[in-house]
Amino acid sequence: MTDASDFIDLDDALVDLDRERRCGFSEVVYGEGKTVEAIRRIALAQLERGIDVFATRVSAEKAAALLPEFQALRPNAYYNEIARTFRVPKTSDKADLRQDDTTPLFRGKVAILTAGTSDLPVAEEARETALWTGADVVLVQDVGVAGPKRLIAKLPLFVDADAIVVCAGMEGALPSVVGGYVSAPIVAVPTSVGYGAAFGGVAATLGMLNSCASNVTVVNIDAGFKGGYVAGLIAKRVADAARRAFERGRSH
């Protein structure tokens, strides 16, 4: 049953306050098409209820209007201009929260890979999203199939990741290549990078969907947020399982 306390009615938005309990993470604000005032009201409603604010597809102009007010509330609020993400942590405390001094901090690891530097805006959106989920994140840039040795050289940085996000345009081959080297699930993000026959990312999407690597799954074109979110969910499940195993061992 849905309770009225599960959401707050802002007239033009129903802010979901129960999302974290149901889905693992709190509601994310999609900034494109929203006014500065709409984003502001949603973010304030979330902050007032102890929710970590995360908004995607926020233009630099909107961020410039929002940042001064929110940095006054949380000095660690920030805007990533490349990713176009706006974040206001629910607390100003940068310290890692642990149950006690003897309990290790459990976090999953997410790796974000780009085929080329042109894929960076999508990769940065994925990176910011994965960080917001609480994962440890490593970004590995420019390891596309035009220079395969670059990928092999960087393999030690991500071979132990719990989930890997691979952002690639053109023909979208990189996720399949990465899939042949790792045992982790790969979230392939096709980007709209490429000349005419790339069809704005459609060619990369089809290439990724037809991957012969069994550990590759695909999200929408330029959907860095979706890639980072799915990888973050996987990492969170890994971290939660490790935490439960540690607590069971300590209790015996």
- The count of residues in the chain is 252
Average pLDDT over residues 112-130: 96
- The reported pLDDT for the residue numbered 167 is 97
- The reported pLDDT for the residue numbered 140 is 97
Residue with tokens 């176009």: 84
Average pLDDT over residues 202-223: 96
96 vs 131, residue with greater confidence: 131
Q: How far apart are CA 158 and CA 192, in angstroms?
A: 24
Q: Confidence class of residue 172 from pLDDT cuts 50, 70 and 90?
A: very high
Going by C-alpha positions, the residue among 204, 130, 213, 197 that lies closest to residue 167 is 204
Answer for the pair 201, 189: CB distance below 8 angstroms, yes or no.
Answer: no
Least confident of 90-104, 132-146, 211-225: 90-104
Q: How far apart are CA 243 and CA 246, in angstroms?
A: 5
- The reported pLDDT for the residue numbered 11 is 75
- The reported pLDDT for the residue numbered 3 is 57
Q: How many CA atoms lie within 13 A of 111 on its CB side?
A: 26
Residue 159 has pLDDT above 70, yes or no: yes
Give whichever of 8-12, 79-83, 143-147 has the largest mean pLDDT.
79-83
Going by C-alpha positions, the residue among 38, 12, 44, 42 that lies closest to residue 28 is 42
Q: Which residues pair with 56 in a beta bridge?
A: 30
Q: Confidence class of residue 23 from pLDDT cuts 50, 70 and 90?
A: confident
Residue 183 has pLDDT above 90, yes or no: yes
Residue 102 has pLDDT above 60, yes or no: no
Q: How far apart are CA 102 and CA 201, in angstroms?
A: 48
Residue 188 has pLDDT above 80, yes or no: yes
- The reported pLDDT for the residue numbered 97 is 39
- Predicted TM-score of the model (pTM): 0.89
